[in-house]
Amino acid sequence: MKHTITLIPGDGIGPEVSSAVVRIIEASGAEVQWETHYAGAQALEKFGNTLPEDLLESIKRNKVALKGPITTPVGKGFTSVNVGLRKALDLYANLRPVRALPNVPARYPELDLVVVRENTEDLYAGIEHVVVPGVVESIKIITEKASTRIARYAFEYARREGRRKVTCAHKANIMKLSDGLFLECFRNVSKDYPEIEADDKIVDNACMQLVMRPEQFDIMLLENLYGDIVSDLCAGLVGGLGLVPGANIGEQGAVFEAVHGSAPDIAGQGIANPTALLQSGILMLRHLGERGPADRIEQSMLKVFTEGRVRTRDIGGTASTYEFADAIIAQMAQQGGAAA
């Protein structure tokens, strides 16, 4: 049976990287078909809404989406589509595996950690208002329900994937109530997983430790805003934003996306690195049970990186997005079993 996937090409480099990834997935022999939907500025222009109901219905029906990055105007204009999507579908767990790729300049080539970020609340919920002119208030919401749910997700993931430790990073020394509650929920949930080590660090120290001795971390559990920042920091440890995948997971569905944004500085030039979205696509195929095609793509991608002849500019090469995708497709065909 074919899986139907909601495809959101996105803005900026989104259409370039998503068409490369669609071509690779189709060449892998995966049993998939696509339902394309627009969000953000494109949807606003076409349908008068940045997050059209049709798009949400499509994800609820298909239970899975692959999403390119979407531009969010800074300081004015519409609110973040990414945040809206996560809220509308209650995609409460943001998963970001961080692993270096062969032959890609990285500070920590051996690093292999996973960032689990709470995705629905915290300061990131964007609840802000002007108290009086010149004074604004931004509200940080942390609930026992969401904190317990995400902690459980992290420990379940650790158990399923054979990981050894979950580290909660927080600022409970200063935000005693909000971060204190997040930490308390983490500690409570950890008691149900005695085989998995549970520890915690204050987030500023955790950042320094990440830069100096990242191998001490295995799974990191963070609130929404810290998780957003720390996951980009982790991407930097293994070679940059063009490489790292991400998934937003909830009961109603899962949206797989790259960690990077729409990169307006290089949009339209055909030079973006599609690896991050491709790795998200690999996570998506595994989530769908399409393990054969996922492994085939991953092995071919790793081979292309190992050979090092075809690489995009952000990692020191000259290849275009299209040429890089072609190299992976050719590699799959060479390995046999691909439908290229």
Label residue 37 exposed, middle or buried (CB < 10 Å: 0-12, 13-18, 19+): buried
| Using rule CB under 6 A, residue 137 touches ligand NAI | no
> Which residue of this chain has its Cβ atom nearest to ligand NAI in the complex?
261
Q: How far apart are CA 228 and CA 169, in angstroms?
A: 12
Q: From the CB of 321, what's the least distance to ligand NAI, in Å?
A: 8
Q: Does 281 bind ligand NAI (CB under 6 A)?
A: no
Asked if 314 interacts with ligand NAI (CB under 6 A), we say yes
Q: What's the closest the beta carbon of residue 21 comes to ligand NAI, in angstroms?
A: 11
Whether 228 is catalytic is yes
- Which candidate in 179, 200, 228, 326 is catalytic? 228
Binding range to ligand NAI, per CB under 6 A, among 163-171, 182-190, 259-267, 285-293 = 259-267
What's the min distance (Å) between Cβ of 128 and ligand NAI? 16
Q: Alpha carbon of 171 to those of 174, 206, 227, 258, 302: distances in Å?
A: 6, 10, 12, 27, 38
DSSP code at position 313: G
* Binding piece for ligand NAI, criterion CB under 6 A, among 46-54, 97-105, 256-264, 297-305: 256-264
C-alpha closest to that of 116 among 59, 66, 156: 156
The single residue of 124, 153, 157, 226 carrying the catalytic annotation is: 124
Cα gap 68→245, rounded to integer Å? 11
16 binds ligand NAI (CB under 6 A): no
260 binding ligand NAI? (CB under 6 A): yes
Q: Out of 82, 94, 167, 224, point to the residue binding ligand NAI (CB under 6 A).
A: 82
DSSP per-residue letters across 129-178:
EEEETTEEEE-----HHHHHHHHHHHHHHHHHHT--EEEEEE-TTTSTTH
* Alpha carbons 222 and 102: distance in angstroms, whole number: 28
Provide the minimum distance between the beta carbon of 202 and ligand NAI in the complex, in angstroms, as a whole number: 26
Query: Which of 261, 282, 301, 326 is in the footprint of ligand NAI by CB under 6 A?
Result: 261
Reply yes or no on whether 171 is catalytic.
yes
- Sole window of 66-74, 99-107, 129-137, 152-160 interacting with ligand NAI (rule: CB under 6 A): 66-74
The radius of gyration of the chain's CA atoms, rounded to the nearest angstrom, is: 20
CA separation for the pair 9, 205 (Å, rounded): 37
Residue from the set 97, 239, 242, 245 that interacts with ligand NAI by CB under 6 A: 242
The strand pair at 245-249 and 254-258 is best described as antiparallel
Tokens (6 digits) for 47: 């349908």
As a whole number of angstroms, the distance between CA 17 and CA 69 comes to: 9
Residues noted as catalytic = 124, 171, 204, 228
Binding site residues, ligand NAI, CB under 6 A: 13, 17, 69-72, 82, 241-242, 257, 260-266, 272-273, 276, 314
